[in-house]
Amino acid sequence: MALGRYPETGLKDARTKRDEARELLAKGIDPSVDKKRKKVAADIANATTFKAVADEYMDKIEREGIAEATRKKTRWLASQLEKDIGSLPIADIEPYEVLAALKKIELRGNHETAKRVRSFASRVFTYAIITSRARIDPAASLGGALITPKVKNHAAIVDARGVGGLLKAIEGYEGYLTTKLALKVMAHLFVRPGELRHAEWPEFDFESKVWRIPAAKTKMRSEHVVPLSVQVLDILKEVQGLTGDGRYVFPSVRSGNTPMSENTLNAALRGMGYGQDQMTSHGFRSTASTLLNESGKWSSDAIERALAHKDSNKIRGTYHRGTHWDERVKMAQWWSDYLDILRDGGKVIALRRGAQG
């Protein structure tokens, strides 16, 4: 067995290694085999740090197919733990070490982020258990140690007259024209803000009057087809004259190669005098859901499908041209017509509380 080269290995070190080798031989252990085992153990230790397992877990879910926005958020959540526990062997991590990392996030006032990071860490530990790299999930029981922020629903205006006032404010918006038009489309289509911001021109079929949102861009990971009213088609044609040569329907005002920023629509609402506790871009969905349900004209299933909410029955859980497609087409046009009435200060229909249609 080689004890190292001189002068890299000094005489004292060589003697120490010799004595260690003799001790191993006395125990019936081959020193060269022991050295290989230690190297393998070191390699395994390097491959089983929290960061290594987290990277492996994220690679797995990305190969399975997740939306780009989800991929970025997951990578960001992982980065919040890298400094504190990233280099630690995942099997040796104690609950107090995870909690210390989470408390640092809380101290910055990011209570919801701390909870999301804990949930992500728990998924990584669970993956480590399944793949025989850990025995327990030290993050599992930490939820109770974190501050629970007051739950805030996406603020929304849900009374008809208030919606009319909002639509008038949008008409009078003096900021970027594309931002104004994006707000108008949000009101009519009530899709998720991220879906609108990332909308691309090839997804729209003006002849068939539909917008096909790819599965990769939807929260439910299923293609969502949205019927387009006459009013929406007119708005989109106006937008096309502004951004039709680019990739995105509503690009960033700073770069036509990237989508509108996440804060643009909410900032516009703030500029119109609507506080974050009054109306948000996501709130258009609550506005539509409330008024459509209370109109008593449409089935709850059609409304849920229009909102692209997950169906509890997987057999019925598709959102494109299903049983309620014809109803959704009629509902889309009715909704746009109703918004025009509210904007112009016309007669508000009598809403029936709790009506199911």
Which active-site residues does the annotation give?
Answer: 192, 219, 282, 285, 309, 319
Distance (Å, whole) CA 268 – CA 264: 6
Count of beta carbons in the 10 Å neighbourhood of residue 257: 10
Mutual angle of helices 325-343 and 160-171, in 10-degree steps: 70
94 Cβ contact list (under 8 Å, min separation 6) = 138
Q: Which of 63, 151, 74, 168 is nearest to 111 (CA)?
A: 151
Cα Rg, the chain, nearest whole Å: 29
**Three-state SS letters, 255-296:** CCCCECCCCHHHHHHHHCCCCCCCCCCCHHHHHHHHHHHHHC
SS3 state at 175: coil
140 burial (CB, 10 Å; 0-12 / 13-18 / 19+) is: middle
Q: Which of 296, 101, 329 is nearest to 211 (CA)?
A: 329
Q: Look up residue 217 and give its DSSP letter.
A: G
Please, are residues 90 and 125 in contact by the beta-carbon 8 Å criterion? yes
The end-to-end CA distance of the chain, in Å, is 85
Distance (Å, whole) CA 227 – CA 320: 10
Which amino acid type is present at position 311? D
